[in-house]
Amino acid sequence: MPGSAMSLPENPNIFANNPLDRMSEKRTDADWLAEKRADPTSLFVPMWRLQPFVLPESAPNSGKDVGWMPMAILPELAAPDAVVIFLGINKRGKALFAADISAIKDPENAPALKGLGSFGDLRGLAMASELSPTELAILAQAKSMIDWHLRHGFCSVCGQPSVMAEAGYKRSCPSCKAEHFPRTDPVVIMLPILGQSCFVGRQKIWPKGMFSSLAGFIEPGESIEEAVARELKEEAGLTVSQVTYHSTQPWPYPSSLMIGCHAVAVTGDYQVDGVELSEGRWINRDDARAVLTGKGDGSIWFPPSFAIAHQLIKAFVEGTV
């Protein structure tokens, strides 16, 4: 399938592995887009205050489904100028859209949706593993895109209202002709390693006993490696000599890309800054494995597999880095 990412190895992170063909070469074609919006086989997911519509389980723990609806009912739920994003073409050749229906006060009781399902928080749905990973990836795309439009209604150059273009992948300013594109904010998240130990830290506001990888936004003019080295120096006083990339995770809160790395520390000396980090510690491979698999003494714990930090620690424990 042209444009499909399915030939790539599977990414271990939730919200990755989006199966859609985004058809970027067609998004500028208004006729093609209008045809897809009018196609009776095309589907949209209603999004209310950034929460996707989901259909209930048929039996306990059988899993929920995304509440894909035929495009024909869209006019019942959203005004003609509502934000409607083209997501892509699925494996069955159907065009999928996401529509913001936040203007409705009580959407679960709207005639078109009443009794069919409910709106759910995406993070909660992901943590509960109630939707398939590929559906979560599609919803992450939908959430980030709609969120961007709802917060970027005005041109950042001249302050006048801007309008959506190219199926949602651009906003244009009719006044000054500036073009604006959906943004992705890169964040580095990294696990320093020294011999048989890895370094984890915790913030005061985290749940008791939780330790995780350190993270921070990449700054303008900075490489991934430089951001990793700077953040570790600033937050933990650690010096690293090498940075290797592990995997990335789209993180739709609102539109980050978590770039997971491992780093080789020069020495074990560290000093937490007391601001970003309140505590840090080196943990050897065996202890990290025990914590990761729930066989530790219970005094500390790591984020669940939902988080890329978990995958970074897991790779270290398994000796693949």
Helices (H), 194-279: 224-236
Please identify, using beta-carbon distances, which residue of 66 and 173 lies nearer to Zn ion.
173
Q: How many angstroms separate the CA atoms of 246 and 224, rounded? A: 12
Does 163 sit near Zn ion (CB under 5 A)?
A: no
Please identify, using beta-carbon distances, which residue of 172 and 278 lies nearer to Zn ion.
172
Please identify, using beta-carbon distances, which residue of 181 and 253 lies nearer to Zn ion.
181
| Token digits of residue 187 | 């964040």
Q: How far is the CB of 157 from Zn ion (least distance, A)?
A: 4
Does 155 sit near Zn ion (CB under 5 A)?
A: yes
CA 82 to chain centroid: 23
193 has which bridge partners?
A: 198, 264
Q: How far is the CB of 172 from Zn ion (least distance, A)?
A: 9
Contacting Zn ion (CB under 5 A), which of 43, 73, 110, 157? 157
Contacting Zn ion (CB under 5 A), which of 34, 72, 158, 266? 158
Ranges within 47-86 binding Zn ion (CB under 5 A):
none
Q: How many angstroms separate the CA atoms of 19 and 89, rounded? A: 9
Give the residue carrying structure tokens 């529509």. Answer: 99
Contacting Zn ion (CB under 5 A), which of 178, 210, 224, 321? 178
Please identify, using beta-carbon distances, which residue of 39 and 179 lies nearer to Zn ion.
179
Does 5 sit near Zn ion (CB under 5 A)?
A: no
| Token digits of residue 3 | 């444009």
Q: How many angstroms separate the CA atoms of 233 and 190, rounded? A: 12
Q: How far is the CB of 181 from Zn ion (least distance, A)?
A: 14
Give the residue among 107, 109, 99, 108 at the shortest CA–CA distance from 150. 99
Does 173 sit near Zn ion (CB under 5 A)?
A: yes
Give the residue among 107, 90, 115 at the shortest CA–CA distance from 50. 107
Contact residues for Zn ion, defined by CB under 5 A: 155, 157-158, 173, 175-176, 178
